[in-house]
Amino acid sequence: MTIHAYQETYLSKAQAALGDAFDYTIHTCGIPGEDFIKLFTASSVSKRMENGEPAFLAGKSGIEIAADVIFETTGRQLEAMPEEHIGRSSEYWIGWAVCYYQWFSTRSFSDIFKIFSFEDLQNMYYTLHEADITKFADIVDEKIKEYFKDTNLKRIRASYGCTQAELAKHSGVSLRSIQMYEQRNKDINKASAETLYRISKVLGCTIEDLLEK
């Protein structure tokens, strides 16, 4: 069973909104792409989208999302008038594609942008913007998995021959939590003692074995 960041019914609107936010802020307002990425990941907006808050997935326009990000992180008001575009700009595609991958993988925007700079994503636009979005997701997924090596939990679970779903069933810890611990979207070192005990009991290891150094 694949767990995504939120219900798929919100996905297309979220992608369009983030695409518009990137296009408006970078293309229209002239804020450098790398700067906007840093501001976006530092803002509560990115966390609210990751958490699946409907107001930020479908309730706000891309212009409103951009304005929220800039005002929260810099105190500035964006006043440039949105421009009409025929087709998607590279800036729009970057926001649109990254939004898809975040939903697909449940990884944080912060983790994604640790691996891919704005320039990296612009270079990907030229070869991938007409391809199926799953092609982009596969490429990003491969590079992120290379960067984030297996956690102790994933290594021990795999050695034990247990799937994530089986571990969830036998431990009583939710499948989503196990996935997020393995992807480092949640810090297993901050998990409750009860959670760690349940997982370690199923896998036949100590609690200390699960902790990341």
Shared-domain flag, residues 100 and 188: no
Shared-domain flag, residues 111 and 27: yes
**Is residue 4, in this structure, part of any structural domain at all?**
no
Q: pTM of the entire structure?
A: 0.75
The total number of structural domains in the chain stands at 2
Tens digit of each residue's pLDDT (9 = 90 or more) over 39-95: 999 999 999 999 899 999 999 999 999 999 999 999 999 988 887 766 789 999 999
Shared-domain flag, residues 53 and 103: yes
Shared-domain flag, residues 164 and 131: no
Of 119, 147, 175, the domain-final residue:
147
Cα angle 13, 17, 18 (rounded to 5 degrees) comes to: 120
**Is residue 21, in this structure, part of any structural domain at all?**
yes
Q: Which two tokens stand for residue 86?
A: 């025929």
Long-range (24+ apart) CB contacts under 8 A made by 29-36 are 29/66, 29/78, 29/80, 30/80, 31/70, 32/118, 33/91, 33/94, 33/118, 33/119, 33/122, 34/117, 34/118, 34/119, 36/69, 36/118
With H, G, I as helix, E, B as strand and everything else as coil, classify residue 7.
coil
Domain, as residue range, for 187: 152-210
Shared-domain flag, residues 142 and 114: yes
| Cβ(212)–Cβ(152) below 8 Å | yes
Shared-domain flag, residues 71 and 47: yes
Shared-domain flag, residues 93 and 63: yes
pLDDT number for residue 145: 79
**Is residue 13, in this structure, part of any structural domain at all?**
yes
Which CATH number fits the domain that encloses residue 183?
Answer: 1.10.260.40
Q: Which of 47-56, 138-147, 190-199 has the lowest mean pLDDT?
A: 138-147
Q: Of 186, 178, 185, which Cα lies nearest the Cα of 203? A: 178
Of 109, 128, 147, the domain-final residue:
147
Shared-domain flag, residues 184 and 119: no
1 pLDDT above the threshold of 60 = no
**Is residue 99, in this structure, part of any structural domain at all?**
yes
Give dist(CA 135, CA 54) in Å, integer. 27
**Is residue 1, in this structure, part of any structural domain at all?**
no
Of 147, 170, 196, the domain-final residue:
147
**Which DSSP string corresponds to 78-94?**
P-PPPPP-SS--HHHHH
Neighbours of 150 (CB within 10 A): 12
Tens digit of each residue's pLDDT (9 = 90 or more) over 52-61: 999 999 999 9
